[in-house]
Structures are given as C-alpha cells and as structure tokens.
Amino acid sequence: MKSEQVLADLKRRFPNEPEYHQAVQEVLESIEEVYNQHPEFEKANLIERLCIPDRIFSFRVTWVDDKGNTHTNMGYRIQHCNAIGPYKGGLRLHASVNLSILKFLAFEQTFKNSLTTLPMGGGKGGSDFNPKGKSSAEVMRFCQAFMTELWRHIGPDTDVPAGDIGVGGREVGYFFGMYRKLAHEFTGTFTGKGLTFGGSLIRPEATGYGNVYFLLEMLKTKNIDIKGKKCLVSGSGNVAQYTCEKLIELGAIPVSMSDSSGYIYDPEGITTEKLEYVKELKELYRGRIKEYADTYGCKYVPNARPWGEKGDIALPSATQNEISGEDAEKLVSNGIFAVSEGANMPSTPEAIEMFQKAKILYAPGKAANAGGVSVSGLEMTQNSERLGWSSEQVDEKLKWIMKNIHENCVKYGTEKDGYVNYVKGANIAGFMKVAKAVMAQGIV
C-alpha cells in the first residue's frame, strides 16, 4: 500500500469531503509500515474495504415548529464497519453536519471502538438540525420525525446510536421513546439513556472522566503529578464539564471554558461552585459562556478559543479542527507539556506535527476520548443482562479500559528515541484488531 495513492483515489471518488480525507490520511500514514508487512492485507484489498463505509443512509426529515411552520432537514446514518460488533456511534445535531463530517467520525469511531477492548463496530449519524434556540416541544417533534426513518436500520444487535454534539439526555429520550413505539420492543438500542429506562451510571461523565484518566497514564510516564497544574479546557458541554469536574477532584486547576461565541479565562481557577453554575447555565437555561465572565468578573474573549493563554495542560473538548498549527505553536511556546483530546479530531495535521516535533505528551481523540463509548458498551452489557451496576463498578471498569488503551498505544507507538507517538500507537492498535477480524471473516 502507498498511502498517497489510496488517498488520491478516495479524493477522486469522494470529492469535497475534506474532514473525511483528513481522518483517512492520518490513519494511513500511521499504519503504512505495519500494513506493508502483511501482504495478505494487500491481496484482499483490505485498506479500501476499511476506508469506505459499509452503507450510508440519507433521508429528509420534516417537522413542524411551535408556530405551525414546516421545516425540512437532512438526516444521515453512516454504518462504517461491524466486523467486531454492532455498529456503534453517536448522533450529532448541528448546523455543520454533512456527509464528510459524519464519514470522518464513523471512520474514527471504528478504530476508537476497537481500542476499547469491547465488541463494538463503528458508525455515526445525525442531522443539520440545530437544537439551539428551539423549544423542547420542537426538539421532540424533530427527534420523532428523524426516528420514523432511522428506526428500521438500527437495533441492539445491528446498530446502537448514542448522543454527540447537540444530543444529550433529553434528545436520547425522545429518540428512544419513538424507536420503542415504532419497533414494538424495549431493547438496548440506544445508549446514554436515562437511569429510569436502562441508562448506566457514569455515562454522562464518561468521556470527560476517561480523558483525564488517559492523561494521568501519560503523566505517569514522565513522573508528573497533576495536582496544581493549570489546565486549558475548551467547550462547555458535557465533555468539558466532566473533564473540569474530574480535574478539580484531582487537585488540578481548570482555567478556561468556551462555546461557539468565545471563551472565558479565569486565572483563579474554575471551582466546584463555579462549575455548578456552568452546568445550570448550559443545561437548564441554554445560556452563553459569557455570562460566567459577567458573574465572576473574569476575562472573556469573543469569537476565539483559549489556546493563546498560559497553562500546563490543554484538553480540547469542543469540536473538530479547533487547534490550528498557529494555536499549537502558541500552546508550546506558553509552556504546555501535555495535550489530551476530549473532542474528535480537534487538532489539525499542522497542530499534531507541532506537538510531536516539540516532543510533548499528545493523545489523539480516538484514544483519549474513548471513555464515552466505552461506558456505552458497558451500558449495552447491562441492558443485555437486565442488570444495573453501581457507580463504583462502572468507574473501575472505565479506569481499566483507559489504562488498557494507554498500554496498547505505548506498545505500538514507542519510537527508537523513547518518545511515545500516541497517534501511531492508537491507529495501529485499533487498525490491527479490525483488520484481523475482517480477514478472518473472508471477502464479504
């Protein structure tokens, strides 16, 4: 395999999908050497089979707002690969959603799920519907309209969706309720459900907690204590909130949060009390992060991200490509020694190159933010057994999974000079498991 040739062919066949091309390129460059050590992979054209989704569903979603006006959005579900388990991945509701973004997310999800050690394939879906500014009744009507098409393509042993950007507990509840009505069954077809109808403890916290657990494993390799370290966190949704919560619990000092309007920088640190304010602001009032600055009298910068501020550790927890090469240069020059990604592909290729050139600890999202889907997998297990586990049980399993992912990254990513290339390690570890499963099942 020559990664340039494979990528050029994908660009020719699927033009105008930059996020998808970016995700594929990163993986191909990491695995090329290992892939070429297996001529049987090339004979079976394995790489093309793993780059192109099994199937893509796209459909119109028509819903009615509170004033009686009719609106139309696009709905999608990408079923990328189910060689090691049912398709598994979230639904994203955001104005930016398109096929390129969902294909990149489903591709990444396949290898991320492989890393978790759990039997889950990769998928992703969503819509260009934006829930911001919509009433709960409008969101419910949209979710129900979306599910009238999607329900026939999913199931507990087929494809198990979950939440993502724009899809929290409220939306998952509406999706699941409509699925249950249409499918005439109560099964673990969704994860991220409410605790009263099959959800798992620790699931809301899992992505943020898991990212911090992975960060701790990285810091151990350098004998660094997280206590007292200033942490730049982006985002203010679920992932960012629980990242901050775990950082505070461990004695670290989160100093920033953001949303699509700008970021706040609180040099005194975001405390438990301040974080509770953010949770209420975002979850109850759907407010903007600027209100934090107004309330606590700290710095607010509109239309920007916090990567120019000083800190020790960066935890991007918002969205893809939020750290540019220029941002990465600022982070390194300001003394950041570790970056652990809570979002999916938040660093551009230029940023990743900068981090690795500076030899700082850098964990890609497919490894560091795998905690969310890991606990989703544990939720699937609990649903299958018709049992619920305690918070302590789930948290211990989450810690074990993140430690296991870190060990695999070190195993496959340690370079001759001792530097751990976590991107390479995660890509190879995730790829090899899926590749071996596909090969064992023949040409299908």
Known binding site for substrate: residues? Answer: 88, 109, 112, 163, 376
**Residue spans of alpha helices (H) in 185-344:** 206-220, 238-249, 272-279, 290-296, 325-333
Rounded Cα distance between 316 and 161, Å, is: 24
Contact between residue 77 and residue 159 where contact means Cβ atoms under 8 Å apart: yes
- Active site positions, annotated: 124
Question: Which residues is 289 bridged to in the sheet?
Answer: none
Residue from 63, 67, 1 nearest 31 by CA: 1
Secondary structure, 3-state, 36-50:
CCCHHHHHCCHHHHH
Contact between residue 214 and residue 237 where contact means Cβ atoms under 8 Å apart: no
CA distances for 165 relative to 17, 131, 171, 239, 259, angstroms: 20, 10, 11, 10, 12
Query: Which amino acid is residue 382, in one-letter code?
Result: Q
Report the C-alpha dihedral over residues 77, 80, 85, 89, rounded to 10 degrees: -50
Secondary structure, 3-state, 187-233:
CCCCCCCCHHHCCCCCCCCHHHHHHHHHHHHHHHCCCCCCCCCEEEE
Tokens of residue 89, six digits = 């991945």
Binding residues for NAD(+): 207, 238
Contact between residue 28 and residue 47 where contact means Cβ atoms under 8 Å apart: yes
Pairing of strands 253-254, 159-162: unpaired
Contact between residue 83 and residue 127 where contact means Cβ atoms under 8 Å apart: no
